[in-house]
Amino acid sequence: MKYQLDNGFLAYDHNGIGIPLLFIHGYPLSRRIWIPQLEGLSDIASMITLDIRGHGESYPFEGPYLMDLLAVDCKRLIDALNIKTPILVCGLSMGGYVTFTLFHKYPQIFRGMILTSTKPGPDSSEAKRNREVSIKNVREYGVPFIADNMLPKIVSPVTLSAKPDLVNTIRDIMIETSVQGVVGALNGMRDRPDSTPLLPHINIPVLIVHGADDQLIPIQEANSMSQQISNSRIITIPEAGHLPNLEQPEIYNKAIRDFIQSLV
Ligand code: MLT
């Protein structure tokens, strides 16, 4: 489905029965990463998966995609869908950065939060410089160059060698992103705020799910978040990297199912 927004469209799907659950994907991915969750959780959650600006089938949008802007996009979609009850928000990596900003701006819409493969801190100076290099590279060599660089780091070594079909699917998802989308997201992530001071104020139930082999955001980040969010539980998924929902979907779905059941 498509929701008209500013000068473009946000693509989204809305499936399942139960507590409203908004999934926000990472960079440079799309709502296609949530297919195992749509398949495994439709009896327990009313799931909204969206393609954030410039990703998947949402287009065209000029960047930068500041986290504030992406959070407002999510809120506008929730309002357009006429969802009035508090929701669960599940953000993966960049989607987690958006989730923090969404909570900062609209805490009243949250029933709970699922933080996957993410961290609260801003970019270091080195990370900001790397964003500039990636922007130059994507303009010069295109999105496949970015995808091929990221692939060995985005999944665990086990996934890389044992699940070639999944790795190819992840590559396909990545290369659907436009150059404009990649640049917009890189600029937005580079300038994202520090959400660390928010953590002690997150007063809703939080599930932190992290791949044990995440090479992009190390597991220490998840452990540190769990210490700073009082009402949180953490699940570490073995043989999973940055995309545990795709690499170990059964374990991931069970973690979400248990979390939802603990809320009722
Ligand atoms: C993501 O997976 O969304 C990105 O790798 C996060 C980042 O680059 O900071």
pLDDT digits (tens, 9 = 90+) for 25-54: 999 999 999 999 999 999 999 999 999 999
Give how many domains the chain has, as a whole number. Answer: 1
pLDDT in tens, 218-239: 999 999 999 999 999 999 999 9
Check whether 6 has a pLDDT greater than 90.
Answer: no
For the CA of 242, the closest atom of ligand 1 is 2
* Residue 134, ligand 1, Cβ within 6 A: no
What integer pLDDT is reported at residue 60 of this predicted model?
Answer: 85
Convert the chain into a string of H (helix), E (strand) and C (coil).
CEEEECCEEEEEEEECCCEEEEEECCCCCCHHHHHHHHHHCCCCEEEEEECCCCCCCCECCCCCCCHHHHHHHHHHHHHHCCCCCCEEEEEECHHHHHHHHHHHHCHHHEEEEEEECCCCCCCCHHHHHHHHHHHHHHHHHCHHHHHHHHHHHHCCHHHHHHCHHHHHHHHHHHHCCCHHHHHHHHHHHHCCCCCHHHHHHCCCCEEEEEECCCCCCCHHHHHHHHHHCCCEEEEEECCCCCCHHHHCHHHHHHHHHHHHHHHC
Q: What is the pLDDT of residue 120?
A: 98
27 CB near ligand 1 (under 6 Å) = yes
pLDDT above 90 coverage of the chain, percent: 97
Closest ligand 1 atom to Cα of 123: 9
Best substitution site from 70, 94, 126 to test ligand 1's pocket, by max atoms within 8 Å of Cβ? 94
CATH number at residue 140: 3.40.50.1820
pLDDT band at 7 (very low <50, low <70, confident <90, very high): confident
Q: What whole-number distance in Å separates Cα of residue 115 and Cα of residue 97?
A: 9
Q: What are the backbone angles phi and psi of residue 206, rounded to the nearest 5°?
A: -130, 130
Domain that holds residue 258: 2-263
Nearest CA to ligand 1 atom 5: 27
Does position 147 have pLDDT exceeding 80, yes or no? yes
- Ligand 1 within 6 A of 87 CB? no
CA distance 39 to 228: 33
